[in-house]
Amino acid sequence: MGKEARKGNQHIKGILCILAAAFGFSLMTFFVRLAGDVPTMQKAFFRNAFAAVVAVVMLLGTEEKFKVKKESWKDIFWRCAFGTSGLIANFYAIDRLDIADANMLNKLSPFFAILLSIPILKEVPSKTDVLATVVAFIGALFIIRPSADLTMVPALIGLYGGFGAGTAYVFVRRLGRKGERTPVIVFCFSAFSCIVTAPYLILHFHPMRTEQLLCLVMAGVAASVGQFGITSAYKFAPAREISVFDYTQVIFAALWGFLFFDEIPVPLSIAGYVIIIGTALVRWRMNLREPAA
């Protein structure tokens, strides 16, 4: 097999993995919603407890076990802090918005990552990235639909979910530069999230029916599929070549919302989806034309 053929094969594997990741994360939001009236903090605890178990099993099979590089601790803390707050905000939004809207607001994370890369990674974004970020936030306004009452609060919290995720990704990238292992980062994040949400769980535990507990377990399983899928995808192909396919998560989420919750996005939300996904698509195409770093 020639070099070009091998590259094309790897590219296809990367796309398939990122589509699997998008499918997994969309199922996570579906099961979080399906769990019903379980408090947001309790949902976050069970979702991360499952991920922590998976990470522990992976680390026990390695020679270094739970060893963390000394220079990684500060970045791990900030990755955990922003990742946990972003996750809780995302789960809060999932319970109060159409799941497609909640997913779309969370998918603003790459644009927040562009902004946060300036002070954290000392990277100067291109004019294209700056323009794309501005246009994406205009699209977000169509989903948030600013108003004088409190109806927009869940959307603003969902927007923070995207900010928290985007900031966490920047710290993950810096940890990657330092050579920190992925299972260590996943374990620290999951354990941190469990510690943060545990006090609420102890003081305000909401008794769950069997089907609710099963939904939260399935949310953890789906999230793990998403996490492994996205990690594998970027091993097969660069993010600049395949990241746009991650936006299919919104399409999957809209499908679950329509089939199971009778949710039909309002025209303004659809306009927001088109603007944000269209912006991501244009940015992706322009990145492909630029020489790889």
Domain definitions of the chain by residue range:
19-287
Average pLDDT, stretch 8-27? Answer: 87
Residue 72 DSSP one-character state: G
C-alpha angle 128-86-249 in degrees, rounded to nearest 5: 65
Q: Are 207 and 42 in contact (CB under 8 A)?
A: no
Q: Assess whether pLDDT exceeds 60 at residue 8.
A: yes
Q: Are 287 and 125 in contact (CB under 8 A)?
A: no
For position 184, what pLDDT does the model report?
87
For position 290, what pLDDT does the model report?
67
Q: How confident is the model at residue 269 (pLDDT cuts 50, 70, 90)?
A: very high
For position 181, what pLDDT does the model report?
84
- Residues 124-176 have pLDDT tens digits of 888 888 898 899 999 999 998 887 667 789 999 999 999 998 899 889 888 88
- Long-range residue pairs from 73-76, CB within 8 A, at least 24 positions apart, any chain: 75/171, 75/174, 75/175, 75/178, 75/180, 76/171, 76/175, 76/180, 76/184, 76/185, 76/188
- Among the listed ranges 110-124, 141-155, 179-193, 205-219, which one has the minimum average pLDDT value? 141-155
Q: Are 87 and 193 in contact (CB under 8 A)?
A: yes
- Residues 211-259 have pLDDT tens digits of 999 999 899 889 888 877 887 787 777 666 777 888 899 999 999 999 9
Burial of residue 26 (number of CB atoms within 10 Å: 0-12, 13-18, 19+): buried
Q: Are 46 and 221 in contact (CB under 8 A)?
A: no
C-alpha angle 252-108-195 in degrees, rounded to nearest 5: 90
Average pLDDT of every residue of the chain:
87
* Lookup: tokens for 146: 């600013």
Residue 244 DSSP one-character state: G
In angstroms, the CA 36 to CA 207 distance is 12
230 or 33: which carries more pLDDT confidence?
33
- Determine the straight-line distance between the first and last CA of the chain, rounded to whole angstroms: 26
For position 164, what pLDDT does the model report?
95
Helices (H) and strands (E) counted in the chain, each on its own, are 12, 0
Phi, psi (5° rounding) for residue 106?
-70, -30
In angstroms, the CA 263 to CA 259 distance is 8
